[in-house]
Structure 1
Amino acid sequence: MLPASTTSGGGMPEFTVTGLDLAVIIGYLVLSRIIPLVASARMKKKAKAGGKETDESEDYFLGGRNFIWPFVGLSLVATNMSGATFVGLAGGAYDQGISIFAYEWMSAVILVIFIFFILPFYLRSKVFTLPEYLENRYDRRSRMAFAGFNLFANMFIDMAAALFAGAVVVKVLYPDIPMIVSVAVLAILAAVYTVIGGLGAVMISDSIQATVTIIGGVIVLIATFNAIESWDAVVQTAGDEKMSLILPADHPDLPWPGLITGVLIIGLYYWTTNQLVVQRTLGARSLDHGRWGSLLAGLIKLSFLFLFILPGVMALSLYPELESSDTVFPTLVFDLLPVGLRGLILAAVIAAITSTVDSILNSASTIVTMDFVKTLRPDTSQRRLVFSGRVSTVVALVVAIVWAPFIAQFDTLYQYLQSVLSFLVPPVVAVFLVGIASKRISATAAFLTLVILQPLGLALFIVTQVLPEEPTIQFLYAAGISFGLSVLMLFGISLLGPSPDESKTGELTWKKKYWTEESKELRGTPFWANYRFLSIGLLALTAFLVVVYA
C-alpha cells in the first residue's frame, strides 16, 4: 500500500487516493444523484395522492411548500457549507485560532431573531422570492433592484467562489487536473438534480450531504483527538490568543465590537434576506416546521466548533510547521485515517461543494423566472416558467464556470471579497428589517436606499480596502456605519413624504397583537414543540460556549 502522506519537515504533504477511496467516492456520487430525484418524485406523488394541489412552478421552485423541519434544517446547513468548510475552518483555526467560531455562534443568535420576527411575514405573504416580498411591502422598483443584486451576488460571488474553493481542494489531491476541468465537473454534478428536480431534489440532496458532512467531521475530530499528546499540550502550543473567542478591539481580523457592528449585520443579510438561504424556509410545510428547521440549523452550527475548528487548533501540536494552512485538513485526513474511510471524508468534502452550488443554482433560476420572466410576462404558463427556470440554471452555471478560474488571478481581490459584503449588504438588511418594524417606511425611501447606498458602498470598498496598501477602516466597523446611515436615510426620506398605504403595510409590519394572539395559541403546547422554549435553550447553549471559550 502506498503511504498516505508525508509531512516531515513541515513541507507540503504528498497525498495518495487509493482504489478503495476512489470506489467510495464514486459510489457516493452515483447514489447522491439518484436518491434525491427518486425521493423528490415520490414526495410529489404522495402529496398529490393526499389531495394537496400545487402549481407546477410551486413544485419546482419551492418543493410544493411541503418540507418538514429536518429537511429544512439540514438543507439550511448544507447550503451554508461550501467546499471550504472543512479546509477553510480548519485552516483558519490553525492560523487565527478559535475566534473564527464567532461567525458560527452568531448564526444561532440570528436564526432565533429570524424565526421570531421575520419568517412569519415571509410565509404570510406566500412569496416565491424575497425580491417579490419587497414588492409586496414597497413597490416593483425595490423588487427589481434587489433581484438584480441577488442574481449578481449568486453568480459572481457565491457560486464562483464555491466552485473555486472546490477546485482548490481537488488541486491539492490531483495537481495535474486543470482548474477549469475541476470547476466544470463539480458544477455539472450539482446541476444534474437541480435542473431536473428543482428545490425538492435539492433539499433532499442537501439533507444527505449535511448528514455525510457531519459524520465526516465527527470522524476527523475523534481521529485528531486520539492523535494528540494531551489537551494541555494543545493549549500550550496554541497560546492564549488562539484559544480565546473574544479578541481585542484593535485586532485586524475580528475585533470584539465588530461582532455587533459587522458579524451580526452580515449574518442578518445571509440568514434572513438572502434568497439562497431563505428559500429553504419558504418551502416549509408550515411556520412551525420553518421555525423548528431553523433552530436545528442553529444547533448544528454550534457543533462546528468541535467538528471543524478544534481539529485545526489541535493540528498546531501535531504539525507545527506546515507551509500552508490550506493543507491542515487534507493532512489530518491522509495521516490519521485508514484507507476507505478517507474516501468517505473526501465524499463529504464533495458533498459540501455540490450542496452550495445546487442551492445557488436553484436560487438564481427562481429569481430569473419569478422576478424577471413572470414579472415582465405575467401570462407565461406554468410549464414555460419551469422551462425558463431550467434554462436560467444552465446559463448561471456556464457564467460561474467561466468566471471561477479567473478568481485565481486575483488572490488579493479574492481575499477582499470576504469583506465586500460588509460594504454592500447593510442597506439590504435595513430595508428588510426596518420595513418590518415600522409601517412608516415608504417605497421611495426603500428604493433610494438600495440604489444609492449600495453603489456608494462598493465605491467605498474600493477606496478603503482595495486601493490602499493597508485597509483604512476595519470592514466590520464599516458595516455598522453603513447600516446606521441606511436607517437614517430610510426614516429621513419617509418622513418627508406621505405615509404608505395601509394596504401595503397592514399584514407585513410588526404589531403587538401578533405576539399576543400567538401566545394564546401556544398555551398547552408541549415545551419540546414550543419554538419559544426551544429558542431559549439554543441561546443558553450559545451563551455557555461563548463564556467558556471567551
Structure 2
Amino acid sequence: MTIILSFLICTLTVAFISWYKTRSTNLNTVSGLFFGGKNNGYLVVAGSLILTNLSANQFVGENESVFINNMSVMAWGVTSVLAILLVSQFLLPVYFKYGMVTTPDFLALRYDESTKKLVSIVFLLSYAVNLLPPVLYGGAVALTSMFNIDALLNISYWQCIWIMVWILGITGSAYTIIGGLKAITISDSMLGAGFLFIGICLPFYALNHLGGGDFFNGLNLLLTKHTSHLNAIGGKHDAIPFGTIFTGMVLVNIYYWGMEQYIVQQSLAAKSLKDAQKGMAFAALAKLISPLLINLPGLVAVHLYTNVTNTATVFPMVVADVLPTILLGFTAALIFGAAMTTYNAGLHGSSTLFVLNIYKPYCQKRGIEIEDKNLIKVSKRFEIILSLCAMFAAPFILFANSGFYAYLQQVSGLFSMPILTIVVVGFINKKVPPTAAKAGLIMFMVSYFCCEYIFDVDLHFLHVLAILFLIISALMMLYGWFFPMQKNVVFNPPLASDVNAVPWKMRHVAALSLIICMILLYLFFSPLGVAKLD
C-alpha cells in the first residue's frame, strides 16, 4: 500500500503542477501548443532535454547490457557530450538565426520543399516504428516487474504488458493533447529534480544491500569482484566495441541531439540562444552523471543474481530488492514519468512535423485558407491515430530475438543516418542538387537494410553506418560535380526578428571542462582504472 500511495502522490503532484503552470499558456496558437510560447529558461531546457532523452528503454536496456556484457554500453550517454557540444556550437545558432521550427526546415532552405516533405515522412516512420512503441514497451516491462503486477492480478506476463502499455499510452496521449509542449517541459523539470534525488539514493541503497548492510563493503565488492563488467573499453564481441565510438556512434549522436525533432524542439522552445546553449551544457553534464543511475544497477545485479531468465527485468529486480517501499513507489513514478515524457515528446514532435511540413503545405498549395485552430484540431487527431497504432504495436516487441536495447539502436540507424547524410552534405557542399539528396536518402536506407537484415555482413552496425555515410556522401558530391545546381545556395532568408540569437559567452569554457570530465570517466572505467580484467 505504501508503494502504491507514494507512486500516486508523486504522479498526481507532477500532473497538477504541470496543469497549474500551463493554465495561462495560449494553446490555441501554433507557437503556444508546439513550442510552449518560446519562453523557457536554461534550467527548463536542460530538464526537458534530459527527461525527453531518458526513458524506461534506457533503464531496462542499458542495465540488461551491463549485466550481459560490461560498461561499454555507457558510451551511448557519455560520448553524447561531444555531440551535444557540437550541436550547441554550430547547429543551434543556425536554427535560431533563421527562426526554424522543425528540423527539415533547413532542407527546404538548402534543397527544396519536396526534400523537406520526404524527410518529414521518414521522421514520422521512425517515430511510428522505433520510438513510440519501444518507449511504451520499456515502461510496461519496468513497471510490471517492479510491482509484480502480473502476479498481483493473476494474469499472464503477456496480458500484463498489454494493460501497462495502454495505461502509459492513454496517459501520455492525454498529457500531450491537452497540455502541449509547455506541460511536457514543466513536468520534465520536476521529474529531473526527482531523478537527481533517486540518482543519489539508489547507489547508496544498492551498495548497502550488496554489502549486507555495509555501504563501503558493498562498494569494495563492486570494485574488486567481477571487475571485467566495469570495463567501458568494449571489445569486438561487446555491446559497444570501443572503435565504434569514433565511427558510427559520433554520427548517430550528432543526429540525435541536433536533428531529432522531438529533441531539437526542446531547445527551440528556449527564450534565447544563450538559454538554449546553457541548457544543452547542463544536459551534457547530466549525461556524465547518468551512469550512476542508469548503469550501476546492472553492475550490482551481476553480484546479486546468477540465473536470470528474462534479462530485461534486471533493473526493476534490483530496484525492487534494494529500495525502501516509499522510495520504490517514488522511483516507479519517475520511471512512469520518464516513459511518458519521451512518449509525449515523440508524439508531439510527430504532430508538429505532420501539421507544419505536410498538412499545412498541402492546404496552401491548393489555396485552402487555414487558421491556427484548424491546425491544432488536425494535430490532435493525428496524435490520437498515431498513439493508437503505437499502443497496438508495442507489446509485440516482447518477441524480438536480439536484446531490447540492441534492437532499438540497430533499427534507428535505418532512419537517422540517411537524414544526417543529406544534411551534412548540404552544409559542406552547395552544388549538390535536390535530386541527389532524395536519391541519397533512399539509397542509404535500402543499403543499410540489406547489410543488416539480408546479407551476412561481419561488421558492427555502427561501422556499417559510418561506411555508408562516407560512400553515400561521396556519391552525392560526385553527382553534384557533374550535375550541379543551376544556382548557388545562399542562406539569406529574413532573420527571425522575435528571437535573441546572441550566443552564450562561457560556452567554450564549459565545453572544455565537459570534454575533460568525459575523458577522465573513461579512464576510470578502463583497465587503467577499476576494470581489472578477469
Q: TM-score normalized by structure 1?
A: 0.85
Q: Confirm or deny: 8 A CA contact 1:160 1:403 kept in the other structure.
A: yes
| Matched position secondary structure for 1:411 | coil
Aligned position for 1:15: none
Distance apart, 1:401 and its partner CA: 0.8
1:439 aligns with 2:427: no
Instruction: Call closer, same or farther: CA 1:318–1:456 in 2, change over 3 Å.
Output: closer
Question: What do residues 202-229 of structure 1 show as CA deviations (whole Å, max 9, x unaligned)?
Answer: 1112222222233223211111122333
Q: Confirm or deny: 8 A CA contact 1:423 1:475 kept in the other structure.
A: no
Question: What do residues 480-515 of structure 1 show as CA deviations (whole Å, max 9, x unaligned)?
Answer: 11111121022112112234644543479xxxxxxx
Q: Confirm or deny: 8 A CA contact 2:67 2:299 kept in the other structure.
A: yes
Q: In the TM superposition, what are the counterparts of 1:96-135 in structure 2 within 5 Å?
A: 96-135=69-108
Aligned position for 1:456: 447
1:421 aligns with 2:401: no
Aligned position for 1:290: 276
Q: In the TM superposition, what are the counterparts of 1:202-241 in structure 2 within 5 Å?
A: 202-229=184-211, 230=217, 231-240=219-228
Determine the C-alpha separation between the residues in 2 that align with 1:394 and 1:424. Answer: 23
Determine the C-alpha separation between the residues in 1 that align with 2:200 and 2:63. Answer: 13
Distance apart, 1:297 and its partner CA: 0.9
Q: In the TM superposition, what are the counterparts of 1:380-529 in structure 2 within 5 Å?
A: 380-412=370-402, 416-464=407-455, 472-499=458-485, 501-502=487-488, 504-506=490-492
1:174 aligns with 2:149: yes
| Matched position secondary structure for 1:377 | helix
Determine the C-alpha separation between the residues in 1 that align with 2:128 and 2:299. Answer: 33
Question: What do residues 440-471 of structure 1 show as CA deviations (whole Å, max 9, x unaligned)?
Answer: 3333322221122223322332213xxx5xx6
Q: Confirm or deny: 8 A CA contact 1:163 1:183 kept in the other structure.
A: yes
Aligned position for 1:511: none
State the superposition RMSD in angstroms: 2.3
Residue of 231, 245, 250 corresponding to 1:244: 231
**Higher RCO (CA < 8 A, seq sep 6+):** 2
* Equivalent AA in structure 1 for residue 508 of structure 2: R
Aligned position for 1:547: 523
Q: Confirm or deny: 8 A CA contact 1:252 1:474 kept in the other structure.
A: no
* Equivalent AA in structure 1 for residue 123 of structure 2: N
* Equivalent AA in structure 1 for residue 112 of structure 2: D
Distance apart, 1:319 and its partner CA: 3.3
* Equivalent AA in structure 2 for residue 330 of structure 1: P
Residue of 18, 22, 37 corresponding to 1:36: 18
Question: What do residues 11-52 of structure 1 show as CA deviations (whole Å, max 9, x unaligned)?
Answer: xxxxxxxx111011112222222221221233x37xxxxxxx
Residue of 506, 514, 522 corresponding to 1:530: 506
- How many residue pairs get matched? 500
Q: TM-score normalized by structure 2?
A: 0.88
Question: What do residues 168-218 of structure 1 show as CA deviations (whole Å, max 9, x unaligned)?
Answer: 223322112532221111011112221012111111122222222332232
Question: What do residues 354-389 of structure 1 show as CA deviations (whole Å, max 9, x unaligned)?
Answer: 111111110111111111111111331111111111
Aligned position for 1:192: 174
* Equivalent AA in structure 2 for residue 188 of structure 1: I
Q: Confirm or deny: 8 A CA contact 1:63 1:199 kept in the other structure.
A: yes
Distance apart, 1:294 and its partner CA: 0.8
Aligned position for 1:10: none
Aligned position for 1:201: 183
Aligned position for 1:7: none
Determine the C-alpha separation between the residues in 1 that align with 2:39 and 2:488. Answer: 31
Determine the C-alpha separation between the residues in 1 that align with 2:297 and 2:163. Answer: 31
* Equivalent AA in structure 2 for residue 164 of structure 1: Y
Determine the C-alpha separation between the residues in 1 that align with 2:402 and 2:237. Answer: 20
* Equivalent AA in structure 2 for residue 477 of structure 1: H
* Equivalent AA in structure 1 for residue 313 of structure 2: T
Determine the C-alpha separation between the residues in 2 that align with 1:285 and 1:123. Answer: 10
Distance apart, 1:252 and its partner CA: 4.7
Q: Confirm or deny: 8 A CA contact 1:79 1:356 kept in the other structure.
A: yes
Q: Structure 1: where are the runs of 5+ without partners?
A: 1-18, 46-53, 509-517
Aligned position for 2:529: none
